[in-house]
Chain A
């Protein structure tokens, strides 16, 4: 019935390359593509529900204090208004990724500006919106002296709970003795995930069971978070997220709409839909923390790192355990026996800080790679050559080997495709009219993880297959790659594989987060298919290596039989189970890559335009060349945003987010992005997963903003250490022309 693999040893079998169908890795179109482009793919708020009421959240207009009273009478007489709910089962903050339990729930205790305090429910959205705006709330603001709203005002810095501090050797001495040393402090501003689909939930309660269509990334954790919040048993909660309009971390845990819709549906006994406004997505879900990062690089005369320091300061709300793991890639990317890695956190009253695409590396790598460019210049060694000289043989702290690592290949392939000149790096050498032109590069690195995953695969009597898991596809290509894995293993065209996702009643996967989805759930699909193949072998009396499945036929011993004929009216259903094992600790595992970019900096205005950008990436096995490249491209677009425009701006006086919508928080638009050239470097990583695949969803954002920073320096000679590199920061430093 089921088959389980625990990855205690690298899985060297390389099953997928032994198969005959030839679909794995191919650039197939997305299986659900026609539904998406035709508008029939249905997202959370769009499911039909008869007699559904509409809820609109009301959020706090103070940064700390308590709700003294909510004057329901101020709105209950308005047309269509059904209820004003401010209930202890609602949630005041989103759940952190992987929490699996209720987040902070006291909605009447305000800890940040924009915290949900109530939900107003009415017959129509227009009525609820109007009433929510008019609802009179009295607060008792706690603005005593110790209220810390801004990171620069924080006095208490604690060691971050989940990031290991490394204190090895004597870094100050290494810095003093180094032939070339860099000691530089970089800053990054807060980021918002800003998925195109605002968080939304449609809840239905039948008196015992709660069914919620929601926009969520990790249903297995979300079900526990919601059940715990509501005081229900998890088996009485059913979550559905077949389509998710982008997540980027902000939908890892349940968001306030999910609990509010559920509570309202339970109270009113009818379906309730709650959709966050775009402003509420900014105010009431998560931010990526701003960071301050000190980089210390101590190199010998050949540019080889002897000392390495990366210390970061981040913030979050009181009681939150999450701290942006800024030094995550710094732990393994570069050598240096004298070593300091540290993340410190202060508690400030801004909205919850949580995981935004590639928590840690997204901001850590861009600062590190900019500092590496400073070292390259100081040492007179080419930026690519400097990085090639600093690929450690073993993990510099844990003394374990690396699993497959194609960093050098990525650096070389990317440089060649871009036409990179590693020798002449003098800045401010090229001008076209009023534009300074320059190039820059950076390394990409992102840790690889897998998580426990189950998936069910049924080989149907008609020779098609069904894959079923609660895994989600948030634009990642999950529907398609799981179809390709099953198609490869069972000898089927992926068009003959029905992939069912995003339903918490299906086999439990880890969900979409941390780039682990495809390699975890995909491995579970492969394992289930192995079990089906074993049963077919039993039926045929042959060994697996003698069985070829291709195009719907089973071939062995010169016999060729169609699957329907072989199955003779029965289905074979198997559950595949993957467990992470010892390879997690025995190898340093990560995806690697390299970015190359050319920018133009306006000599008068300081505006930066990215003119060219290439990325070469090694992600283990590529499951689908088309969707994998798209993931990398998307990451590179985020690099452009992180480098040039994205910054959450807070009012220092009351902690409220000023640029709380898409007109003021600037994500890259089409014209900000040149044609992106993505190169996938062929790789198999047996320690990473039975598929020999690694994570791809986040790698593309890990370092590229550093490449843009370095290109700006190369273009005009201005070394900025403050992201985003907006014109106001550049203009004062620009050379005369």
Chain B
């Protein structure tokens, strides 16, 4: 079977127990996606599958035939950073850096979800256009743990990208 990883076709013929996360990290050499808990509890392994965020530890590689996977490496490079990556650097939206790729992938999809009008648990009016207040961003980013405690700066970084996109 085949998957598209960051626009490149990859074959998978491995152990069917292989999680999408382990496939990316080990077989594709894309170690930017992190393993923090392997149980869908921390969000460090967040990647985009057909544009939507997913905990890659909670899904098996064999379940993704022909899916388009985007990892942190597919968003940007140190020399050519995605606006979210640049904003995380400018706002110090990280410390140790281990949760960071997951935070950024999650933020990318979260901004798209808000753009598409998806409400969250803190959205007052479910029919109105979703306004990404800091409280909305905090709620929508709460699946991504950061033990260093960079949350305040993460919200600032995402807010800046949201404002710049206007």
Contact = CB atoms under 8 A, between A and B. Distances in A.
B51 interface: no
Residue of A48, A668, A672 with highest tally of chain B CB at under 10 A: A668
Contacts of A638: 149
Contact of A278 (B38, B76, B134, B144): B38
Contacts of A668: 149, 151
A125 interface: yes
B81 A246 contact: no
B29 A633 contact: no
Given A670-B154, A673-B149, A37 B81 contact: yes
A42 B29 CA distance: 11
Contacts of A126: 15, 17-18, 22
User: Is chain B's interface secondary structure helix, strand, loop, or mixed overall?
Assistant: loop
B90 interface: yes
Interface in A31-46: 32-43, 45-46
A195 interface: yes
Interface string B134-148: 110111011111111
Contacts of A43: 31, 34, 98
Contact of B37 (A46, A474, A662, A669): A662
A670 B138 contact: yes
Interface residues of B, number: 65
B99 A627 contact: no
Interface residues of A, number: 65
B95 A475 contact: yes
B8 to A, nearest CB: 15
Contacts, number: 190
Contacts of B100: 36-37
Nearest to B73: A39
Interface in A173-222: 193-198
Residue of B22, B31, B101, B143 with highest tally of chain A CB at under 10 A: B31
Given A125-B22, A197-B96, A38 B36 contact: no
Contacts of A636: 149
A194 to B, nearest CB: 6
B15 A196 contact: no
Contact of B25 (A46, A474, A630, A633): A46
User: Is chain A's interface secondary structure helix, strand, loop, or mixed overall?
Assistant: loop
B78 interface: yes
A196 B72 contact: no
22 contacts: A33-B94, A36-B100, A38-B78, A39-B101, A43-B98, A125-B26, A196-B34, A196-B96, A196-B98, A198-B35, A243-B97, A246-B98, A278-B36, A630-B148, A630-B153, A635-B149, A661-B39, A661-B41, A668-B151, A671-B122, A673-B149, A674-B152
Interface of B: 15, 17-18, 22, 25-26, 29-39, 41-42, 44, 71-73, 75-79, 81, 85-86, 88-90, 92, 94-101, 104, 122, 134-135, 137-139, 141-155
Given A278-B36, A629-B92, A670-B141, 11 more contacts: A34-B85, A36-B97, A37-B94, A38-B72, A474-B96, A475-B95, A475-B96, A475-B97, A661-B41, A669-B143, A671-B141
